[in-house]
Structure 1
Amino acid sequence: MEAQVSPSLSQQFVEIMVLLHNNFGRQTQVPLPLNQFGVLCVLMDTQGLTITDISRQLNISKQQMTNIIDKLVSAGYVSKEPDPVDRRRLVITISRKGKKLLEEHMEQFRQRFESHAQNLTRDERQELATILRRYYELINKMFA
């Protein structure tokens, strides 16, 4: 019989998320409303998704997602085309302009992180790198 996940594990996870948000994420301006920025993040590593797929991933209603997508299309950050397999559906893809915006924002995150990482010793930075790599692997495994 598998051991149950302790409340302290989930509590630590939540505390890490809040810590990152308060000390890192909140300090960096997001160039778009969060719901629009989230759509770009979801689309970044895909060949395109339907509005329904995106709305499920971000837990936003399909009706609200349609408005968000329309704003992103108008701004030139995404495009929507009929699905070649099912022309009743639309496929949303990120544009070059959208990718550029995300890349610039991620570069700001990276620079901010590196700046703060200088407060750690070389050994501490190496330890953090190992921990983050493992954290990434385990979170991916949890949600696979």
Structure 2
Amino acid sequence: MDMPIRTADEVELDRLNSALGFLMRLAQLKIYERFFEEVGEHNLKPGEFSVLWVILHNPGIRQSVLGQRLMIKRAHMTKLIRALEDQNLVSRKVPDGDRRAVEITLTPEAVTRVKHASQWFFTYEESVGANLTGDERQQLTALLRKFVGLG
């Protein structure tokens, strides 16, 4: 007996239709796909922008605190900060009082770049979820903030 050929839209997901982790993964993939289609030419990834944005608003933030707040593993944070430093976007300083800590600040070039990037980044972010009503988007944002411990 031949099995029917299905299109992607016809694939049965069964209980995955209500699996929160699965749905969040699909949502993230959809958001990233659109991000790179619409604003990828700016050569700044969403994670990089987020790190630079937080540093902009918290100059001298300790690398460990930044990683904790953005839920970035220590090894990944170290690699990312080194890459940003190689691009002359951040400077690192070891404070006199704690030789184990690293404080991160944006370079003047990065401040200009991040402020410029914020215009296209947040314009893009406002378009995410365009298929939702304003109230639905607000509710989803509130629920996600609660889920991740921000609200």
User: Is TM-score (shorter-chain normalized) higher than 0.5?
Assistant: yes
Percent identical pairs in the alignment equals: 17
Q: 1:109 to 1:32 in 2, by over 3 A?
A: closer
Residue in structure 2 matched with residue 106 of structure 1 by the alignment? 118
1:132 aligns with 2:127: no
Give 3-state SS (helix, strand or coil) of 2:43's partner.
Answer: coil
Q: 1:103 to 1:9 in 2, by over 3 A?
A: farther
Answer yes or no: is the 8 Å Cα contact 2:60–2:104 preserved in 1. Answer: yes
**Post-superposition shift, 1:34?**
6.8
Match for residue 73 of structure 2 among 59, 80, 89: 59
Match for residue 93 of structure 2 among 49, 57, 81: 81
Q: How many equivalent residue pairs?
A: 128
Give 3-state SS (helix, strand or coil) of 1:83's partner.
Answer: coil
Residue in structure 2 matched with residue 15 of structure 1 by the alignment? 26
Give 3-state SS (helix, strand or coil) of 2:133's partner.
Answer: helix
Match for residue 26 of structure 1 among 31, 36, 45: 36
Match for residue 55 of structure 2 among 17, 39, 43: 43
Question: Tell me, which stretches of 5 or more residues in structure 2 are unaligned?
Answer: 1-14
Question: TM-score, structure 1 length as denominator?
Answer: 0.61
Please, what is the CA RMSD of the aligned residues?
Answer: 3.6
Q: 1:18 to 1:88 in 2, by over 3 A?
A: closer
Question: TM-score, structure 2 length as denominator?
Answer: 0.59
* Structure possessing the higher radius of gyration over alpha carbons: 2
